[in-house]
Copies of this chain bind each other. A is one copy, B any other.
């Protein structure tokens, strides 16, 4: 079995750095495919394919504007990712409470582990 499709999940969609960069760019406002491609230093088909993935997971919307097709951010799909990682916030905030002793334990027990 191969890795899950990039379109199966927002997690998979944003695993690609270029796609994350596209999303960041789109925070500034809508952009046409060619613009985005140029700003990210990739080919037009490349940008188009990435935008397709982002569109299929709902992170991006498009509208026609003359000959162009403007892509705009719809970041609501990122919320689950934010919340999921937020479920671990405790583990890096309170890392001096319970976690600290645990980490010390790890370090003492196996020195050349990581």
Contacts and interface: CB of A to CB of B under 8 A. Distances in A.
A64 B110 contact: yes
A81 to B, nearest CB: 5
Given A4-B17, A15-B4, A109-B64, A85 B78 contact: yes
Copies of this chain per assembly? 2
Contacts of A63: 105-106, 109-110, 113
A96 interface: no
Given A78-B88, A82-B85, A92-B76, A62 B113 contact: yes
A40 B82 CA distance: 23
Given A15-B12, A75-B88, A103 B4 contact: no
